[in-house]
């Protein structure tokens, strides 16, 4: 599903056949989750293949490595160029891009002396995920910011995401909503969260979340369309039964929530401001103009 005998990946300066690439089995990345990664998407636009917010993603990868004390010398510009070449050799436009920084063989609990960069790409043209997610408040909390560098995208953190996501699926929900150690809403297993109430959007501040690049794009859209928003701490009770809600992330894009803990959001998705943000986001990733949405919103008010 992710690769076949024709797929090519990037590994430390080489373009290799994915089926032939290997890794060492005696390393901290595999044993302890001591690795950093990114999730990036490219889109087929009228002007050709465009990697969305490539610099922001690669800057975050470098910052994640720095926070984890993993030596990593690539510049974002170098990685962007490699990625465009990799997409081309794989014949991909609408793609998911997964850079991964793994540590060289070493089983100790001290920092890595050397790292390797792997970039994998695969086809992704299935558009939106389900746009009516039924989510539940997870019994698993987000990793404690005093125990982890939660703002970094570290492989090991995702064990927590797997536990929360699987718990939700086992209970018949689509996804989990994780709280921080104080019971405030934090985020989903792999996306940030917003809710809408009385024509205003709310989202948790940084602290216990991965500060998403899509979340920052939502702020940009709000500024351009004149939609008000606030970063604040809130409990799930405040979000339950609000007007609308959505998850946002590179893979999910903007995906509508139907209910939280079986309490439905009140508005029809189409009449929410959140739906306008979803539309605008699609235009932005495809590099299309979305400012016309502003006049539509003004008419509606």
Please tell me the distance from the alpha carbon of residue 240 to that of residue 136, in angstroms, as a whole number: 10
Interface with ligand PMP, residue 245, by CB under 6 A: no
At its nearest, how many Å lie between ligand PMP and the CB of residue 191? 5
Interface with ligand PMP, residue 210, by CB under 6 A: yes
What residues pair up with 44 in beta bridges, in sequence order?
49
Alpha helix stretches (DSSP H) within 142-285: 158-170, 213-225, 236-239, 273-285
Residue 78's alpha-carbon distances to 11, 17, 71, 103, 195, in angstroms, are: 14, 21, 16, 20, 37
At its nearest, how many Å lie between ligand PMP and the CB of residue 90? 21
Q: How open is the CA angle 36-185-199, to the nearest 5 degrees? A: 115
Among the residue ranges 18-26, 95-103, 127-135, 213-221, the one whose residues contact ligand PMP (CB under 6 A): 213-221
Among the residue ranges 26-34, 69-77, 166-174, 188-196, the one whose residues contact ligand PMP (CB under 6 A): 188-196
Interface with ligand PMP, residue 191, by CB under 6 A: yes
- Closer to ligand PMP by Cβ: residue 192 or 259: 192
At its nearest, how many Å lie between ligand PMP and the CB of residue 152? 11
Interface with ligand PMP, residue 143, by CB under 6 A: no
| CA-based nearest residue to 140, from 177, 171, 191, 193 | 177
At its nearest, how many Å lie between ligand PMP and the CB of residue 249? 3
At its nearest, how many Å lie between ligand PMP and the CB of residue 66? 17
At its nearest, how many Å lie between ligand PMP and the CB of residue 165? 10
Those residues whose C-beta lies under 8 Å from the C-beta of residue 219, and which sit 6 or more positions away, are: 229
Those residues whose C-beta lies under 8 Å from the C-beta of residue 230, and which sit 6 or more positions away, are: 200, 201, 202, 203
Interface with ligand PMP, residue 213, by CB under 6 A: yes
Of the candidate residues 7, 64, 208, 250, the single one contacting ligand PMP (CB under 6 A): 250
- Closer to ligand PMP by Cβ: residue 103 or 285: 285
Q: Give the per-residue contact string, 58-77, with ligand PMP (x = CB under 6 A; - = no).
A: --------------------
Interface with ligand PMP, residue 278, by CB under 6 A: no
- Closer to ligand PMP by Cβ: residue 106 or 229: 229
SS3 assignment, position 296: helix
- Closer to ligand PMP by Cβ: residue 57 or 102: 57
Question: Is the separation of the CB atoms in 296 and 276 below 8 Å?
Answer: yes
Which residue is it, tokens 């709310």? Answer: 202
Interface with ligand PMP, residue 99, by CB under 6 A: no
Interface with ligand PMP, residue 249, by CB under 6 A: yes
- Closer to ligand PMP by Cβ: residue 27 or 249: 249
The string over 46-70, giving b where at least 16 C-beta atoms fall within 10 Å of a residue's C-beta and e elsewhere, is eeeebbbbbeebbbbbbebbebbeb
At its nearest, how many Å lie between ligand PMP and the CB of residue 41? 9
What residues pair up with 136 in beta bridges, in sequence order?
176
Residue 257's alpha-carbon distances to 54, 166, 180, 239, 264, in angstroms, are: 27, 18, 20, 11, 9
Nearest residue to ligand PMP, scored by beta-carbon proximity: 212
Token pair in block for residue 299: 């008419």
Binding residues vs ligand PMP (CB under 6 A): 39, 187, 190-192, 210, 212-215, 249-250
């Amino acid at each position: 599903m992710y690769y076949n005998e024709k797929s090519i990946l990037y590994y430390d300066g080489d373009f290799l056949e994915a089926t032939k690439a290997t890794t060492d089995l005696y390393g901290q990345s595999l044993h302890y989750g001591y690795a950093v990664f990114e999730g990036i998407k490219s889109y087929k636009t009228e002007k050709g293949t465009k990697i969305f917010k490539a610099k922001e993603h690669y800057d975050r990868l470098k910052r994640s490595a720095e926070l984890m004390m993993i030596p990593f010398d690539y510049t974002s510009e170098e990685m962007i160029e490699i990625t465009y070449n990799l997409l081309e050799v794989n014949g991909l436009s609408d793609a998911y891009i997964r850079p991964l920084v793994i540590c060289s063989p070493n089983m100790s609990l001290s920092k890595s002396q050397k790292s390797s960069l792997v970039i994998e790409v695969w086809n992704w043209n299935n558009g939106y995920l389900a746009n009516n997610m039924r989510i539940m408040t997870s019994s698993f909390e987000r990793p404690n910011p005093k125990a982890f560098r939660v703002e970094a995208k570290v492989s090991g953190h995702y064990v927590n995401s797997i536990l929360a996501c699987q718990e939700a699926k086992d209970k018949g929900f689509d996804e989990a909503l994780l709280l921080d150690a104080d019971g405030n809403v934090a985020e989903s297993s792999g996306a940030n969260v917003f809710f809408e109430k009385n024509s205003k959007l709310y989202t948790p501040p940084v602290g216990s979340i991965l500060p998403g690049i899509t979340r920052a794009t939502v702020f940009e859209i709000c500024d351009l369309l004149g939609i008000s928003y606030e970063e604040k701490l809130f409990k799930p009770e405040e979000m339950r039964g609000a007007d609308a809600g959505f998850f946002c992330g590179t893979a999910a894009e903007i995906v509508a929530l139907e209910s939280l803990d079986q309490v439905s959001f009140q508005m029809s998705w189409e009449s929410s401001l959140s739906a306008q943000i979803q539309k605008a986001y699609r235009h932005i990733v495809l590099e299309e103009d979305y400012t016309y949405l502003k006049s539509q919103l003004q008419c509606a008010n």
